Amino acid sequence: MPKFRFVTVDQAGRQHKGTLESASFQTAMEELKARDLWILELFDAATSILSRELKFGAPKVKTEIFTVFCRQLATMYKAGISLVEAVRILGEQTESKTFKKILVDVAEEMQRGTQFSVASGSHPSIFSTVFISMVRAGEASGNLDEMLDRLAKFFEKEHNTKEKVKSAMIYPTIMGVMASVVVTIMMIFVIPKFVANFEAMGIELPLPTKVVIAISEWIQLYWYLVPFMLITPKLLVRLLKKHPKGYYAIDYLKLKVPVFGKLQHKQAIARFSRTFSSLFAAAIPLLQAMTIVAKVVDNVVIAKIIEESREGLRSGQSIAEPFRKTWIFPPMVVQMMAIGEKSGSLDSMLEKVADFYENDVDTMADRLKSLLEPLMIVFLTLIVGGIVLSIMLPMFKLMENIG
């Protein structure tokens, strides 16, 4: 009998992991549901080492492709096309070969009687915890069409916000790469020719020129170290992330770094609000919804606060109370949550918060782009101009001596 690994949440919001022997995905799912557990992940244990524990070669699909899939699936299902047929059609027409194979597998599982949430849950690198949880809630309540529509809107909003942040980061990255290439070429090919001329003239070089020549000589001698210097910060970040305190420190810095930290902070608040609102609207129990949000919010600093709020809620506190004690959540967000909790409209209040911060992220990203373009041009000009000026200084000095 095959073994299945699972990650579940109980009614108190506590997470459980383990293995279960069962005849199929469907029976494994039914057995876990009979224990009053909310399934976050359920998969064949035989594939865990390759695709889950090591995450080696786990298939990925572009966000825009998955977003389009969600919208098309919601539309087709609302139009009366059966879910299994809709998944099969979308699998045939998708541009991604990886996604096509996975959708075909999901459709075949569903054809054998497996629920969509279970069939998609066997591919967690493609279908997120939020997706699976909301589909499962739709299957249990009988309003799957509404849940698919909510998912389509959720991923569309998420994708648009991410693209805005990404577009704000692209320009400085490109300009930084260009500056590095231009400086490297000048240091390796241009500066040495001037050095030979200066030595032939026998003139005393000013300090800026000596510094530039020293950097040029170092790059020529140790050019093979440059790639390692560029890779080292990324490796250090990965090593730090293996330790809980290091992971926390990195995510904290992401929210605190000047300018871009504020942008990421607002994006994180928007993601938290949108995810929490969607799960609450799907009638997922509050403690379980908070566990799921903490798992998918993609920032351990915010996840820790959510977990503290969940523990406080379990002991009789309000949802909003733990959020008041931290700088992460602005007073407006906390107040909206408190009002939503008292009025029973937490999902709509959080949706309004998400809309506000998503619009704020869009506006800030557009401003950053318009501001960074001239700043990066000035930066590149100063770097290249500084090198050129350091080379010209000895020539000015020689002309003064001649005069």
Q: Would you place residue 13 in the very low, low, confident or very high pLDDT band (cuts 50, 70, 90)? A: low
The residue ranking higher by pLDDT, 356 or 235, is: 356
Q: What is the mean pLDDT of residues 107-116?
A: 88
Q: Is the pLDDT of residue 340 over 80?
A: yes
pLDDT in tens, 264-274: 899 889 989 99
pLDDT given for residue 37 in this prediction: 78
**Residue given tokens 């001596």 in the structure block:** 401
pLDDT in tens, 40-79: 677 776 654 444 433 444 578 888 899 999 999 999 999 9
Q: Please, what sign has the CA dihedral across residues 396, 397, 402, 403? A: positive
pLDDT given for residue 73 in this prediction: 94
Q: Which two tokens stand for residue 269?
A: 């608040």
> In the chain, what are the helix, strand and coil shares in percent, each to the nearest 5?
75, 5, 20
Q: What is the mean pLDDT of residues 232-240?
A: 84
**Which of these, 52, 226, 75, 57, lies nearest to 124 by C-alpha position?**
52
35-44, 96-105, 223-232, 368-377: segment of lowest average pLDDT: 35-44
Q: Is the pLDDT of residue 142 over 60?
A: yes
pLDDT in tens, 320-329: 888 888 888 9
pLDDT in tens, 279-316: 888 888 888 888 888 888 888 898 888 888 888 888 88
pLDDT given for residue 106 in this prediction: 92
**Which of these, 241, 271, 270, lies nearest to 253 by C-alpha position?**
241
**How far is residue 62 from each of residues 68, 129, 132, 221, measured CA to CA in Å?**
10, 17, 18, 42
Q: Is the pLDDT of residue 15 over 60?
A: yes
What distance in Å separates the CA atoms of residue 67 and residue 104, rounded to the nearest whole number? Answer: 18
Which residues is 38 bridged to in the sheet?
9
Write the DSSP string, 30-81.
Answer: HHHHHTT-EEEEEEEGGGHIIIIIS--S-----HHHHHHHHHHHHHHHHTT-
Give percent above pLDDT 90 in the chain: 18
77-86, 117-126, 194-203: segment of lowest average pLDDT: 194-203
Q: What is the mean pLDDT of residues 31-36?
A: 78
Contact 155, 299 (CB under 8 A): no
- In terms of Cβ atoms closer than 10 Å to its own Cβ (0-12, 13-18, 19+), residue 349 is buried
pLDDT given for residue 91 in this prediction: 93
Radius of gyration of the chain (CA): 28
pLDDT in tens, 147-199: 899 899 989 988 888 888 787 778 778 877 888 888 888 888 888 888 888 77
Which residues is 44 bridged to in the sheet?
4
Q: What is the mean pLDDT of residues 117-141?
A: 85
DSSP-based three-state secondary structure for 21: strand
Q: End-to-end alpha-carbon separation of the chain, Å?
A: 96
**The pTM is what?**
0.72
**Which of these, 216, 213, 181, lies nearest to 199 by C-alpha position?**
213
Q: Please, what sign has the CA dihedral across residues 124, 125, 128, 132? A: negative
pLDDT given for residue 403 in this prediction: 53
User: Mean pLDDT in the chain?
Assistant: 84
Contact 368, 263 (CB under 8 A): yes
Q: Is the pLDDT of residue 18 over 80?
A: yes
Count how many Cα atoms sit within 13 Å of the Cα of residue 322 in the half-sphere of its side chain: 17
pLDDT given for residue 401 in this prediction: 64
